A and B are shown apart, each in its own frame.
Chain A
Amino acid sequence: METAHTDKNFEQKLNHLTDNLIKMSNIVEKQIEIAVNVIKSKDSSDAQTTQNLDEQVDEVERDVRDLSFEIMTLHRPVASDLRLVFTALKVSKELERMGDHSRNLAKRAISISSSFDEDLTDQMHNLGKGVQKMVNQTLESFFKKDEVQARISWNQDAEIDRQYKSLLSDLIERMHNKETSVVDEGTKPILIAKSLERIGDHATNIAEEVIFNITGHYIDLKKTDFE
């Protein structure tokens, strides 16, 4: 447990920064959960909810940016405080991008016909569930300052990528075979899968920031022990 700051004003601002990140994370987790469900439900009001939530995410991101700037200007943070502010700025940017992808994929999902191939829909949904789990665990590792969990989350991206490539080759193969229900939807399923894969990438970036926040070092991407 970290000792409290002598400067209470500074302490309050740092707590407020963390509170904003928790708020932003909760919204983005909700956004992803809804968007992944929309892949199957094709519920347009849920898709609209992801759009509404995205506006909230953007607003909190601006708050994080402004507060970080204020803390750096007025309090000159160092050591663990500096790492927190630096991480907050980067994590909020990743969360904002995740929110955009969730909104986009939900919007595309409702435009896909209900007669679209069930197996491919299941594959997209499963990919979404995997991404959702990875995001939840990564964000939990951030707030619990759990380096081990962050490393586990970081490693999960390889499985997400594998599922994404498998889904992609399946889609392309069925297009080659001129399966009507797949061809009619054009690139929409590919873009949905790509959005999910990108959300996984952003979660990986957050895991790297979590490790930096805890250790002061970025993980070496070439090291095999993360593979």
Chain B
Amino acid sequence: MVDQNSNYALQTSEVYVHYGKKMAINNVALNFPKNEVTSLIGPSGCGKSTFLRCLNRMNDVIDICNVKGKFLLNGNVDIYSPDIQVETLREKVGMVFQKPNPFPKTIYENVAYGPKIHGIASSQNELDEIVKDSLHRAGLYEEVKDRMDDIATGLSGGQQQRLCIARAIAIRPEIILMDEPCSALDPIATAKIEDLINELKENYTIIIVTHSMSQASRVSSKTAFFHLGNLVEYGETGKIFTKPDKEQTNDYITGRFG
């Protein structure tokens, strides 16, 4: 049952996902506390990314993907309700992907695009402020302030990923989904993104899929371990990485799988 009076940004229960006849998620229930970072971990094919993509209906575009279950935003908004426009949902639940994917536009336009199409800014000045503020929050402003009209694809990988985070937060979401956001980055760029995640949680709820155990332990306060489409264990990150309840979790995080 979904708790209506909770401090959860997002609550899910009885989630099943099938790709055709193949089951990808099997009866998962998971709640995400507000202003906390939750990591989803597990081996490839365990369903963690599929589950993440359910949270802002990214799976809608896959014809053979069938999603069932309860998904409540802020305790009362059913994100799969026919009344909910996907674009509106994605204003609330933004996403950052594995590979930085800036638009082939200027740095400024990359960040300004979302607020423009969602009608968030009422004037050019306000739009300028949103772009500046978003770049600031993403820790990128100082590095790009003198070249806002340069093409974004000329930035380094780490800068591009921070630009994508700035683009995600420019539309003022409540939740940011991150699907292995650092897997294409070097250790310094990774450290900057992790530092940023730590700062962003003040204002946002973050759900991150990661293959890096050390990243999960560094950035998140809660961790969920998936295996073969099942949620094996969910709990405080400190506990999961010192004394998980399930032997399967222990085997995975200590590298005993396979």
A77 (CB) vs chain B CBs: closest residue: B254
A window 1-43: CB within 8 A of B: 2-7, 10
Are B253 and A79 in contact (CB-based, < 8 A)? Answer: yes
Are B244 and A79 in contact (CB-based, < 8 A)? Answer: yes
Are A79 and B241 in contact (CB-based, < 8 A)? Answer: yes
Interface centre among A79, A82, A216 (most CB of B within 10 A): A79
Tell me the total A-B contact number using a CB cutoff of 8 A: 45
The verdict on A78 contacting B213 (CB below 8 Å), with A83-B243, A215-B243 known, is yes
Are B256 and A4 in contact (CB-based, < 8 A)? Answer: yes
- Chain A residues with Cβ below 8 Å from B241 are 78-79, 82
Are A78 and B254 in contact (CB-based, < 8 A)? Answer: yes
Alpha-carbon gap, A83 to B249, bound state (A): 15
Alpha-carbon gap, A17 to B18, bound state (A): 45
Residue B250 at the chain A interface, CB threshold 8 Å: yes
| Interface size class of chain A, counting residues whose CB lies under 8 Å from the partner chain | 10 to 19
Alpha-carbon gap, A83 to B242, bound state (A): 7
Residue B20 at the chain A interface, CB threshold 8 Å: no
The A contact surface, by secondary structure, is loop
Residue B255 at the chain A interface, CB threshold 8 Å: yes
Are B243 and A5 in contact (CB-based, < 8 A)? Answer: no
Alpha-carbon gap, A170 to B251, bound state (A): 55
B window 222-258: CB within 8 A of A: 239-244, 249-251, 253-258
Are A78 and B217 in contact (CB-based, < 8 A)? Answer: yes
B241 (CB) vs chain A CBs: closest residue: A78
Are A81 and B254 in contact (CB-based, < 8 A)? Answer: yes
The verdict on A5 contacting B253 (CB below 8 Å), with A78-B217, A78-B241, A83-B242 known, is no
Are A78 and B242 in contact (CB-based, < 8 A)? Answer: yes
- Chain A residues with Cβ below 8 Å from B256 are 2-6
A173 to chain B, nearest CB (A): 49
B174-186 to A contact mask, C-beta < 8 Å, 1/0 = 0000000000000
Alpha-carbon gap, A142 to B3, bound state (A): 44
- Chain B residues with Cβ below 8 Å from A5 are 254-256
Alpha-carbon gap, A88 to B5, bound state (A): 46
A window 209-227: CB within 8 A of B: 215-217
Residue A176 at the chain B interface, CB threshold 8 Å: no
Interface centre among A2, A6, A78, A215 (most CB of B within 10 A): A78
Alpha-carbon gap, A10 to B251, bound state (A): 14
The verdict on A80 contacting B255 (CB below 8 Å), with A215-B243, A216-B242, A216-B243 known, is no
A window 74-121: CB within 8 A of B: 76-83
Are B242 and A6 in contact (CB-based, < 8 A)? Answer: no
Are A78 and B253 in contact (CB-based, < 8 A)? Answer: yes
Are B255 and A79 in contact (CB-based, < 8 A)? Answer: no
Alpha-carbon gap, A76 to B218, bound state (A): 13
Q: Given A2, A4, A7, A79, which contacts B242 in the complex, CB threshold below 8 Å? A: A79
- Chain A residues with Cβ below 8 Å from B214 are 76
- Chain A residues with Cβ below 8 Å from B250 are 79-80
Are B258 and A79 in contact (CB-based, < 8 A)? Answer: no
- Chain A residues with Cβ below 8 Å from B258 are 6
B30-73 to A contact mask, C-beta < 8 Å, 1/0 = 00000000000000000000000000000000000000000000
Are A6 and B244 in contact (CB-based, < 8 A)? Answer: no
A3 (CB) vs chain B CBs: closest residue: B256
B258 (CB) vs chain A CBs: closest residue: A6
Alpha-carbon gap, A81 to B256, bound state (A): 11
Are A6 and B243 in contact (CB-based, < 8 A)? Answer: no
B216 to chain A, nearest CB (A): 10
Are A10 and B255 in contact (CB-based, < 8 A)? Answer: yes
Alpha-carbon gap, A81 to B250, bound state (A): 9
Closest 7 CB pairs of A and B: A216-B243, A3-B256, A78-B241, A79-B250, A81-B254, A6-B255, A6-B258
Listed by A's residue number, 17 A-B pairs whose Cβ atoms lie within 8 Å are A2-B251, A3-B256, A3-B257, A5-B255, A6-B256, A6-B257, A76-B214, A78-B254, A79-B241, A79-B244, A79-B254, A80-B254, A81-B254, A82-B241, A82-B242, A215-B243, A216-B239
Which chain B residues have a beta carbon within 8 Å of chain A's beta carbons? 213-214, 217, 239-244, 249-251, 253-258
